[in-house]
Amino acid sequence: MFNKLTFMLVFSFLFLSQSAIADLLISPTRISFDERQRTAKVSVINTSKEYKTYRVIWSEKQSTPTGGYVTLPEATDTSLSPMTRLSPKQMRLAPGEKQTVKVALRKPKGLAPGEYRSHLLFQALPNENTKINSSIKINMIMSYSIPVVLRESAEVPEVTIEHAKVIKNPDNQRMQFKLKVNRNTGFSSYGKLSAYFKSDTNSSAEKVAEIGNLSIYSDVDSADVTLSLFSDKAITQPGVVEFKYTGADEYADVTFAEHTLPITTNMLLL
């Protein structure tokens, strides 16, 4: 009985987790305030087939060099949330209904130059499920967050790719690239990291891998980035891989860093 109940709870959690992601559409997925901008808007759409209630709150997160975040217990000196107001902070949406959340920025006088960041957290509150007839209540709050950044007296960050190497994906044994990317100023970078392969100097470069929406935030000095080959691409002969980290949005037309990795026969045999 215990094993059966445990399986049902785990299955329900996995199912609801996937549904929660599919049932909530948020746009944009990143906000960057410039020095003159005072408001931003986020659209939230309930794509499920039932009414949903969403709560909107701030969350403070510390980025890590290996990707992802660590949630902080409270705001820090570089948190953006104390300078903002949210409206509305909770909403109940019918299936297919859209709501706009407004983020208003109120910068204090004499704000020090630098980057300030908090994460806007959207929580889908659980609905009552009358089909579950049990003394055990499953109260799960699904959530999704987006970074909100203010760059005061902004500068284009200095970024370098320190090194790159070939590794193998332990799950499917396909080739991957592992890079160490360094950021040398007090502002984060944002853009895409692409890899292009050339078999010789006379051949044209072919894009074989790419990561979009790549940020190296101001609270870390470097990031370990893994690039996987596209599913329809393979490198089967020696040549050269050229890596390019290029900017997007406010960093459009900026090339942050480039790096070249020779591909040898020994690398292909890994």
pLDDT band at 40 (very low <50, low <70, confident <90, very high): very high
d(CA 212, CA 191): 6
Residue 141 banded pLDDT, cuts 50, 70, 90: low
Asked whether the predicted pLDDT for residue 269 surpasses 60, the reply is: yes
Given a cut of 50, whether residue 19 has pLDDT beyond it is no
Task: Say whether pLDDT at 177 is over 60.
Answer: yes
Alpha carbons 191 and 251: distance in angstroms, whole number? 7
Least reliable range by pLDDT among 11-15, 31-35, 208-212, 221-225: 11-15
Cβ atoms of 143 and 123 closer than 8 Å: yes
> What residue has token string 């609905």?
127
Residues 120 and 58: their CA atoms lie apart, in Å, by: 5
The pLDDT value given to residue 10:
34
In CATH, 21-127+138-152 is 2.60.40.10 = yes
pLDDT tens by residue, 187-221? 999 999 999 999 987 889 999 999 999 999 999 99
Residue 136 in this model has a pLDDT that exceeds 70: no
**Fold exhibited by the domain 159-269:** Immunoglobulin-like (2.60.40)
- pTM beyond 0.85: the answer is no
Predicted confidence (pLDDT) at residue 99 exceeds the cutoff of 70: yes
Neighbour order of strands in the sheet with 206-216: 206-216, 189-198, 239-247, 255-263
How many Å apart are CA 176 and CA 195, to the nearest integer?
11
Using CA atoms, how far apart are residues 177 and 168, in angstroms rounded to an integer?
A: 8
Q: Exposed, middle or buried by CB within 10 Å (0-12, 13-18, 19+), for 175?
A: buried
* Residue 1 pLDDT > 50: no
18 has a pLDDT exceeding 70? no
Tell which residue, 55, 57, 114, 63, has the closest CA to residue 84: 57
Nearest-angstrom CA–CA distance, 77 and 116: 8
pLDDT tens sequence across 45-65? 999 999 999 999 999 999 999
In whole numbers, what is the pLDDT of the chain averaged over residues? Answer: 87
Check residues 220 and 133 and name the one with the higher pLDDT: 220
Instruction: Report the 10 Å Cβ neighbour count for 151.
Output: 21
CA 102, CA 225: separation in Å to the nearest integer? 33
- Low-confidence winner among 72-81, 103-112, 131-140, 193-202 (lowest mean pLDDT): 131-140
Residue 26 phi, psi dihedral angles, 5° rounding: -120, 135
User: Where are the CATH 2.60.40.10 domain residues in the chain?
Assistant: 21-127+138-152, 159-269
Q: Is the bond into 170 cis (omega within 30 degrees of 0)? A: no
